[in-house]
Structure 1
Amino acid sequence: MRRHVTRLLLLGLLVVFSLSVFAKVTITASVWSWDVEKYKKIVSEFNKYYPDIEVVLVVNEPDVNGFLTARVSAKQLLPDVVVQSWEALPYPVSQGWIYPIDEFLKNDADLKHMPLALRQSFVYNGKTYALPERLHFQGIVMNLDLLKKLNLQAPKYEAFTVNIFKTYLRKATTREYSGINHLWDFDNVEAAVLSKDTTFWGFNPKKWEFELATGGWLPAIKLQKELKGVPGLVSDDLKNDELRNKGELDDYQKKFGKDADAFRESKVLMGLHGTWDWSWVRTLPWNLDYYPMPFEPQVGQRIPVHVNYAFMTSTTKYPKEAFAFLRFLTYDPRGVVARLKIDVANGEENGRLIDWFVPATMHPDVIKYFDSLKIPNGVKWMLKNLDKAVRVDMWKTVPGWDQATWDVIFPVSEKVRRGEVQTETVAVETQEKANKIIKDAWSDFSKKLTEVEKKFPEIRKQVEGK
């Protein structure tokens, strides 16, 4: 009798075990090679909440779009989730490789903490093809030690206007010091701050066209030229490779020293840098903070951000499970905080965290934990004001962007910087040429997208075996 009961118990346990094994779903997620070990830890955190979803990691080398193309060409399965990308999204969308996720976003209370401007970045024809995975703020690194030495009060983030910016740069420009290290790309980024309607390079994302003549481009160029016109204000403008190649000292070396790195040596008040430069910014030997780009009060504060994104592929066999992982990575506060804790565990140097990232959500739990990190207070302030963010990395989402900017606008911008042409005389003609490229590229993309939308139901039937 006892043997019979024991056999029944063992049989029952085997049945339960078998059911649990068969109930487990396996999905794949592609990550960068340098992030594999980190994402193993993230998967472990994910499995605390979703123990029945196994996540297998694959490496998306050499780049996301190239990786997907190679997989399709080799007739290999696509990963269920692509963890992070900073490449042009229109390409995989136009190929039909991405799963629109709007069905999973409905009535999700946590989604409201992600600013609408960020969510809408990856929407085409009313469908959401990706979610922000992490952000980078583009701003100003402020030398707090030099600020104190110059008897200047640290400005408030919300009061860092163009006038304050210019005043501090001028006061910091002396025989010994300079105001800022460089202004490369300053005008393009500032164009997103000096207008309520335009973003990077004076592009209006609502109208889907450049407004060089009426947007933020002209005032940004004017500001840049004004700053460059102050002798010694921009330290890197004092460099002259032609003189150095002759073995002569240029103005930079005469001012700061033959082998000087003026910014690192605390002889420059501000640096134009994004948070992506943290790996070396954190090594600077002086007290620092990050400030938002300077704004005009009549326009209001606008915080330039770059947005890396993640998405699900259209051929995933398990869309619900794939979305659970995608959500965990992007705006689920449990997942975002878990990821931050993993970075914190990597340690710190000189009182600064070695690794961290800017989340794409303002969820209270995320804000609270982010506030505890040993990172610049200005970055914490910018996350709390993420609703004022404006995207500047438009090349990731606008078809034809590179051709319009680098082939048309950039050459004109260079002539403007050299003083060969006046911005007012070339703005209209330049924007017309650039907008034609954008219009034609969108027309081509739209046709492909229409076909993709038609085929998507059929793709899903094949994947689901219906």
Structure 2
Amino acid sequence: MKKTIGLILASVMLIVLIAGCGGKSDNGGNASPSASPSASSSASASPSASPSASASEPSAGEVVTLKFATWNDPAVEQKKIDAFMKTHPNIKIEIDKSITWPWDEKLGAAAAAGKLPDVFFVFNGPSNVANGWLADLKPYLDADPDYKPENIFGNLSETGQYNGKQYMLPHQLFMQGVLINVDLFNKENIPLPKKDWTIKDFEQIAKKLTKVSDHQFGAENILGARELFVPQFDPSLGWLTYDGTKFNFDNPAFSDTIHWINDIVYNNKTSVDLYDRKEQDKWYGKDKSAFVAGKVGMKIDANWAFADVTKNGKFKWDFLPLPGNKGQRVPLITDYIGMAANTKHPKEAFEFIKWLTYSKEGWMQRINEIEKPITTMPLLNDREVWDAYMNTTFTAPGLKDVISMIPSGFVDGYKWLPGDAEIIDKVLNPYDTKKELVSLKVKPEDVAKDIQQKAMDIFNRNKAQIDAATK
């Protein structure tokens, strides 16, 4: 299998593409970021020193201590820290336990006190950049002989750039697709879909799989999949309809996606999403997924679900790309890491960031020794690293087809796209809370222009603040 995956990935590796587009999903916590970047600079950190600045260099033999803020499992993070420190004896990493949720609120308090952690996870990139908390990593990347632009897929790394400056790098990668219950398909004598399947295929299969009297359904998690499917209706669009320069809620793909989801859930009644949680608890157990219980054939999910399905799903399963319509693109979700603009030890802080983002040594240790199961997919564009990942227990055969789509994938903008979080909170959530759009109580085509206008007003205001801080 290793040789096969290597050949498949060979066409993917060493490609640099334009930036992807992004939307709303988070695997790091449930706290909401501030709606827009603060215009105030009173709490801003001072710019960091350049890579060659001798003022920040420790004397020979001196051990430098760095503070690190992470929302991941502390036990797993400590293993990563220990592995890094073993090969970097001059650097000591301490987890900053004062930075918790709500993330940006705690970072803001630390910034105001002049105590930002040297390295920290970034939940709201635009706000952090506008407030002056993040250092530009580009000078360090340019000075590092190990770094090449193709080290990290271009459509991922470019989401951390503003006006040509690299303020954060992706350090965790998740991709969304469709979990398939292979045994259920076989039981119902339904052929497994191929990688280039369509939304019509999905709809027809869901009907064949559904047996309401047996509490068996074709689909799960389709109600919340709007942002994932818009680019399948129009591949020029990304998450939340963003096309790289503007939002496009008035594009027919937005309305078409909502109507398609409405058909599956409310008209065809082939998704378990039609039933509230209380009813599902009676059928499958409290807070248990119908898919994991073996009663759903197709679930919209991400690779972070692999460990749970492997452990608790008593059936054979696989993972396929989302079905397409006028195109077929994979949704990507990235978590970011950055360096404090006022760190006293930028070189050492950058070494730690490098180990977590594009160091081959770092990724091989994480995959083979530290994170079992490793929930993130590798970000390093290296065939050996990807082969190691695919040889772990918590993967699926069809994943190779989804991996090949990474360079053309579109990236969730919640953590990096100016105004994205505010658009979701103030423009879309009022409709989504009462399910007015997806139930067609309010027709998307009737409100699309209004949503578009409000979204662009928010985007332009946030982008102006980013431009003022970075140009």
Partner amino acid, structure 2, of 1:192: P
| Match of residue 364, structure 1, among 383, 386, 396 | 383
Q: Would the alpha carbon gap of residues 333 and 232 (structure 1) be closer, same or farther in structure 2, given more than 3 Å must change? A: same
Alpha carbons of 1:215 and 1:108: their partners in 2 closer, same or farther (altered >3 Å)?
farther
The verdict on how the C-alpha distance between 1:163 and 1:79 changes in structure 2, with shifts beyond 3 A counting, is same
Cα displacement (A) at 1:215: 6.0
Deviations along 1:343-366, whole A, 9 cap, x unmatched? 45x5xxxxxx4x432122231121
Aligned to 1:287: 316
1:383 alignment counterpart: 403
Asked if the contact 1:32/1:60 (under 8 Å) is kept, the reply is no
Within a 5 Å distance, the mapping from 1:304-343 to structure 2 comes to 304-343=331-370
Cα distance in structure 2, aligned partners of 1:233 and 1:170: 6
How far did 1:312 drift? Answer: 1.1
- Equivalent residues of 2:81, 2:93 under 8 A apart: yes
Q: Which residue matches 2:24?
A: none
Using the size of structure 2 for normalisation, the TM-score is: 0.77
Letter in 1 for 2:141: L
Cα offsets for 1:202-246 (capped at 9, x unmatched): 222x21x220122632221122122124443012314486xxxxx
Choose the corresponding residue for 2:129, options 93, 105, 121: 93
1:44 corresponds to = 82
Aligned to 1:395: 414
Equivalent residues of 1:138, 1:275 under 8 A apart: yes
Q: Does 1:224 align with 2:236?
A: no
Q: Which residue of 2 aligns with 1:267?
A: 295
Provide, for residues 244-292 of structure 1, a one-character-per-residue CA deviation record: whole Å limited to 9, x for no partner: xxxxxx7x799x6899974343221112222334454332222222222
Structure 1 partner of 2:461: 440
Partners of 2:81 and 2:426 in 1: CA distance: 43
Q: Deviations over 1:134-187 (max 9, x none)?
A: 012222221111011112232333x23223222221221235331012422112
Amino acid at match of 1:266: G
The Cα offsets for residues 371-415 of structure 1, whole Å up to 9 and x where unpaired, read as: 1111232345433432132112x2212333233233223434643
In structure 2, what residue type is equivalent to 1:73?
A: A
Provide the residue aligned with 1:407 in structure 2: 426
Using the alignment, how far apart are the partners of 2:443 and 2:111 within structure 1?
Answer: 48
CA contact (8 A) 1:178 1:268 kept: yes
Is residue 421 of structure 1 aligned with residue 442 of structure 2?
Answer: yes
- Work out which of the residue numbers 67, 70, 74 in structure 1 matches 2:109: 70
Aligned residue among 149, 154, 157 for 2:187: 149
Query: How big is the shift at 1:329?
Result: 0.4
Indicate the SS of the match to 2:428: helix
Aligned counterparts, 1:100-119, within 5 A: 100-106=136-142, 108-119=146-157
Task: Measure how far apart 1:122 and its partner are.
Answer: 1.0
| Aligned ranges 1:126-141 → 2 under 5 Å | 126-141=164-179
Cα distance change on mapping 1:155 and 1:437 into 2, 3 Å: same
TM-aligned CA deviation for residue 127 of structure 1: 0.6
Read off the aligned partner of 2:294 and give its amino acid letter: S
TM-score using structure 1 length: 0.78
1:441 aligned counterpart, secondary structure: helix
Q: 1:409–1:434: 8 Å Cα contact kept in structure 2?
A: no
Measure the CA separation in 1 of the matches of 2:63 and 2:125: 28
Partners of 1:79 and 1:334 in 2: how far apart?
24
Deviation of 1:124 after TM superposition, in Å, equals 0.9
Secondary structure at the counterpart of residue 97 of structure 1? coil
Cα pair 1:198 1:215 within 8 Å, conserved:
no
Q: Are the aligned partners of 2:68 and 2:117 in contact in 1 as well (CA < 8 Å)? A: yes
Q: Determine if the alignment matches structure 1 residue 373 to structure 2 residue 392.
A: yes
Please say if 1:61 is aligned against 2:99: yes
Query: Is the 2:69–2:119 contact (alpha carbons within 8 Å) kept by the matching residues of 1?
Result: no
Gaps of 5+ in 1: 1-19, 242-249, 347-352, 454-466
Q: Is the 8 A contact 2:233 2:324 kept in 1?
A: yes
Q: CA deviation at 1:431?
A: 0.6
Whichever residue aligns with residue 450 of structure 2, its letter is E
Equivalent residues in 2 for 1:180-259, closer than 5 Å: 180-204=219-243, 206-207=244-245, 209-214=246-251, 216-239=253-276
Structure 2 vs 1, CA of residues 213 and 72 (structure 1 numbering), >3 Å: closer, same or farther?
Answer: closer
Deviation at 1:25, TM superposition (A): 4.3
What's the offset of the Cα at 1:330? Answer: 0.5
Match of 1:15 in 2: none
Closer, same or farther: CA 155–29 of 1 in aligned 2, 3 Å: farther
Q: Which amino acid aligns with 1:397?
A: W
Q: Aligned partners of 1:81 and 1:123: how far apart in 2?
A: 17
Residue 28 of structure 2 is matched in structure 1 by none
Q: What SS does structure 1 have at the residue aligned with 2:291?
A: coil
Measured against aligned partners, the alpha-carbon deviations of 1:321-342 in whole angstroms (never above 9, x if no partner) come to: 2212111101111111111223
Larger Rg: 1
Query: Once the 2 structures are TM-superposed, how far is the Cα of residue 191 of structure 1 from its aligned partner?
Result: 1.5
Structure 2 CA distance for partners of 1:262 and 1:317, relative to 1, 3 Å: closer
CA RMSD, Structure 1 to Structure 2 (Å): 2.9
**How has the CA–CA distance of structure 1 residues 284 and 103 changed in structure 2, closer, same or farther, with 3 Å as cutoff?**
same
Say which SS state the counterpart of residue 119 (structure 1) adopts. Answer: helix
- Between the aligned partners of 1:261 and 1:357, the Cα distance in structure 2 is 21
2 CA distance for matches of 1:277 and 1:324?
31
The secondary structure found in structure 2 opposite 1:396 is coil
Cα distance, 1:216–1:27 mapped onto 2, change above 3 Å = farther
Query: How big is the shift at 1:22?
Result: 3.4
Paired AA for residue 365 in structure 2: A
Amino acid at match of 2:381: M
Question: Counterpart in 2 of 1:7?
Answer: none
Specify the code of the residue in structure 2 equivalent to 1:212.
F
Instruction: Find the aligned partners of 1:164 and 1:418 in 2 and give their Cα distance.
Output: 22
104-113 vs 187-196, greater mean Cα deviation: 104-113
Cα pair distance change 1:54/1:195, threshold 3 Å: same
Q: Aligned partners of 1:262 and 1:398: how far apart in 2?
A: 33
